[in-house]
Structure 1
């Protein structure tokens, strides 16, 4: 009997073996036959000692708790690398073939312990994308939607993104990138810079504020070209 074929009937513990390649896990033998493996936390909780009798009902509860514990540890490892939305975490646990009831229990526990919070996740992602990666609100909104964050949390997170912060970030993105082109052909440079910013999720309003700021430095206001600008062309101008 391998670990994928766990025993469902009770018996007497005849052997307990530490798994050589997996820390904190033990193989339990009942009546001389391998029955299941268990994390040491549950082994202590259920007082699994050599010679102890494990009833069938107790074994059933133990195996459910073991699956819950495995799902929880897996989720914590995922969250330790980066924050994740509830939707993302559920999808990853489903990939690991945990049952829906086990996943529900795991997410409930993580929520109650404060490790899973879509509102906080949305707020922190919006801040990081805006300030560190210099992405605009439209980009952030789409990313949060893709991660399954509820609409109300997305809207609350976007309210925390200050437009002036967006303008500063957008300005830093294009001020050097298009400096030489601006001197050669300011109209073409404006179109390319505006399209670049909009593809990164900035609004037209933010893009125009940046263009006006650049115009103050390098000459000519955006009013000289914006009226004839085709947004679709700008978005695809490279």
Structure 2
């Protein structure tokens, strides 16, 4: 086949339509990226074999994949696996996918080691997530273990304790209706869910400011105690057992029971 005509596409700048003549008629054959056009020295009168066309289209698919990925990467950094999944959704063929990813890594569009470091720094400094959660997310994104281990070292134990203490003191203000014991348990569970290490949480709970606020503790036992008093019909033993299980101090429990009995 002979290239009979080359025309630029109107809607896709940088792409060209290739027409060929087989000795009987001229017809549209395929389209190519400008880079491929130049690389293969495509011009009017050039003879192409079936193998030439396959190779041209193969290289054009690579260019298409690179362009798609480059646009995808403009918003933010992405991991190699994220880019791979994106290109698969865009129907980039498996046969060219690895070649596309290789070029992206060669051009430094994809750098999983730097991605891991940036990911750890971002979540360490701007979120309430701990290193366990961050590590799990990096694994989901297909980051290699050695990159994860090196990056997560930035989240030192000292930094993790400091962050956990700050979160404990922040979140505890929303747990006013609970006893100190219950608060600690709920905060422990919440920090585990956020990806903090158990050993670190225990240290943070010890370091956090638990200066007793008598008014707050009294208000909490009143709220819990009123419910228990109503539930157990004023059965003082059951109310005491309930409040004790909730972690309230025995002296405070006795004070509450005494005041309820005085009311009656």
Q: What band does the TM-score fall into relative to the shorter chain?
A: 0.7 to 0.9
Change (3 A) 1:20 1:217: farther
Which of residues 6, 16, 26 is equivalent to 2:16? 26
Which of residues 77, 81, 92 is equivalent to 2:86? 92
Matched, 1:115 2:105: no
Which of residues 2, 5, 12 is equivalent to 1:12? 2
Matched, 1:151 2:141: no
Change (3 A) 1:218 1:46: farther
* Whole-angstrom CA distance in 2 between matches of 1:81 and 1:202: 29
Verify the 8 A CA contact 2:168 2:208 in the aligned structure 1.
no
Shift of the alpha carbon at 1:150?
A: 2.1
Gaps of 5+ in 2: 214-244, 246-264
Mean CA deviation greater in 36-45 or 81-90: 81-90
Alpha-carbon RMSD across the aligned residues, in angstroms, is: 2.5
**Larger gyration radius, structure 1 or structure 2:** 2
Q: What are the Cα deviations for residues 187-224 of structure 1, in whole angstroms up to 9, with x where unaligned?
A: 121111111111010012222233223335557xxxxx
Gaps of 5+ in 1: 1-10, 220-227, 229-238
Counterpart position of 1:40: 34
Shift of the alpha carbon at 1:168?
A: 3.0
Shift of the alpha carbon at 1:136?
A: 0.8
Change (3 A) 1:77 1:218: farther
Change (3 A) 1:133 1:101: same
Mean CA deviation greater in 128-137 or 210-219: 210-219
* Whole-angstrom CA distance in 1 between matches of 2:54 and 2:175: 71
- State the aligned residue count: 211
Tell me which stretches of 4 or more aligned residues in structure 1 moved more than 4 Å: 216-219
Verify the 8 A CA contact 1:26 1:38 in the aligned structure 2.
yes
Shift of the alpha carbon at 1:151?
A: 2.0
Change (3 A) 1:166 1:150: same
Q: What are the Cα deviations for residues 23-72 of structure 1, in whole angstroms up to 9, with x where unaligned?
A: 22121111221110111222223233334433443323211110111111
TM-score normalised by structure 1 residue count: 0.77
- 2:171 is paired with a residue whose SS is coil
Which of residues 187, 210, 217 is equivalent to 1:193? 187
* Whole-angstrom CA distance in 2 between matches of 1:34 and 1:159: 57
Q: What are the Cα deviations for residues 155-211 of structure 1, in whole angstroms up to 9, with x where unaligned?
A: 222222122222333333342332252585211211111111110100122222332
